[in-house]
Amino acid sequence: MTQRVRVQNFTVSRDGIGAGEDQSLEQPFGHVNPGELMAWALETASVPARAEPGGTRGLEDYFTRDFAHGIGAEIMGRHKFGHQRGPWPDDGWIGWWGEEPPFHTPVFVLTHHPHPDLTLGETTFHFLDASPQEALARAKDAADGKDVRIGGGVTTLREFLEADLVDEMHVAIAPLEYETGLRLWENPEELTDRFHLEQITAASGATHCFFWRR
Amino acid sequence: MTQRVRVQNFTVSRDGIGAGEDQSLEQPFGHVNPGELMAWALETASVPARAEPGGTRGLEDYFTRDFAHGIGAEIMGRHKFGHQRGPWPDDGWIGWWGEEPPFHTPVFVLTHHPHPDLTLGETTFHFLDASPQEALARAKDAADGKDVRIGGGVTTLREFLEADLVDEMHVAIAPLEYETGLRLWENPEELTDRFHLEQITAASGATHCFFWRR
């Protein structure tokens, strides 16, 4: 089996915005409300964030239940780990994902500033000053033959798309507009030179875009 | 985790027909052409029947790639195993699934006629003269905490639905009509007294119905 590089459940608004630029400890997505943006996923039974039993088991549950299947490592930008900029403060903060992060694999966090490895539950974060190509080589090696997830945020995903390193991508378009913020695209058709694109609108109102290489 | 009883990728025509009544060795689905009925699944990258690389990785690939996830046993009717009726002939025939069946779990085959266990690849077929309730108890026990798939055919699935033993069900409706054959339902709304129902039509032309308990 070839190792694939996949994007899963990445969500943007109708105008392509995945997060605000004004990120802070209190607001990981800045002015964007993640509960609103990710509403389609949070309703499902299999979303990792679900604390209570219940949730839907319709179409969109297939996307959240696929999250861990066949994935051996994740790559994320520094701002998906935490709000800090510049050299890491020695403040003991363990990032947004808490004591039991939902990844359960090695996670490579892209940062220009050195930081020791951090193991929380079944997830080990490795902090890497590397190009997308270098980071991907490390992640593939760590993934034990399984696929690598590009976890975002917007800036990181754009870099991997620009370097043409993504094989397969599921992006949900939430029925919202934000006007300002970090923008993934003007529209999904931008990528159809390289990818097949299938789009479908679910009962939640979100439109799901599936990309795979031509 | 509760063990669930699930139906996956079961496909019927617009008029509810999943197979012909005139099953034979040469025609496992009788007058129904399975390549036509299952076209939506056969196009996908993850369908177990795929011999060659390639295939689509859009929406419908999520359904075929979910086939093995979390499933610890299957229950099927005798006619999903083979075409024979009555006492089993001692002819060495190993059923339609060949030397490497796609199940990779214990499979319980419902039949009134005794037959020794049969192990092929990673799949062991157990032949059982039992009610749906009894068969399900056996399958749950064998599933090692995982879910049980009700694999069909139509008659077996109807029996499990009538006994109210199904928790979750994905049925695809192919854009075809057969008029005669083994009929699952008049229409999917028949089941909405017990199940939530979400329906969506994919690019292939198939309409996917998702049922989960109210």
Helix (H) or strand (E) holding A63: helix A59-65
Contact A200 B200 (CB under 8 A): yes
Q: Does A192 touch chain B (CB under 8 A)?
A: no
pLDDT, mean of residues B40-62: 94
ipTM over 0.90: yes
**pLDDT tens per residue, range B115-136:** 999 999 999 999 999 999 999 9
Which pLDDT belongs to residue B90? 86
Mutate to test the interface with B, among A40, A57, A69 (most CBs of B within 10 A): A57
Which pLDDT belongs to residue A90? 86
Residue B49 pLDDT class (50, 70, 90 cuts): confident
Q: Does B93 touch chain A (CB under 8 A)?
A: no
Q: Which residue of B has its CA nearest to A6?
A: B57
For all residues of chain B together, what is the average pLDDT?
Answer: 96
Residues 63 to 82 of B: which have CB under 8 A from any A CB?
A: 63, 65-66, 69
Fold of domain B5-84+101-213: Dihydrofolate Reductase, subunit A (3.40.430)
Q: Where are the alpha helices (DSSP H) in B38-119?
A: 39-42, 59-65, 78-81
Measure the CA–CA gap between B18 and A16, rounded to whole angstroms. 42
Q: Which residue of A has its CA nearest to B8?
A: A62
**Among the listed residues B134, B129, B171, the one whose alpha carbon sits nearest the alpha carbon of residue B154:** B171
The residue type at A27: Q
Please give, rounded to a whole number of angstroms, the shortest distance from the CA of A157 to a CA of chain B. 19
Which pLDDT belongs to residue A55? 95
Task: Mention every residue, 6+ apart, whose C-beta is less than 8 A from residue B178.
Answer: B13, B15, B17, B20, B31, B32
Contact assessment for residue A57 and residue B209, using Cβ atoms and an 8 Å cutoff:
no
If you search the block for the tokens 């009544």, which residue do you land on? Answer: B21
Please give, rounded to a whole number of angstroms, the shortest distance from the CA of A166 to a CA of chain B. 13
- Contact list, A208 vs chain B (CB under 8 Å): 59
Contact A62 B66 (CB under 8 A): yes
Which pLDDT belongs to residue B1? 62
Q: Which CATH architecture is the domain A5-84+100-213 placed in?
A: 3-Layer(aba) Sandwich (3.40)
Please give, rounded to a whole number of angstroms, the shortest distance from the CA of B8 to a CA of chain A. 12
* Residue ranges of chain A with per-residue pLDDT less than 50: none
Measure the CA–CA gap between B50 and B143, rounded to whole angstroms. 26
- Contact list, A198 vs chain B (CB under 8 Å): 56, 58-59, 203
Which pLDDT belongs to residue A1? 62
Q: Write down the domain spans for chain B.
A: 5-84+101-213
Measure the CA–CA gap between A42 and B50, rounded to whole angstroms. 33
Helices (H) and strands (E) counted in chain B, each on its own, are 6, 11
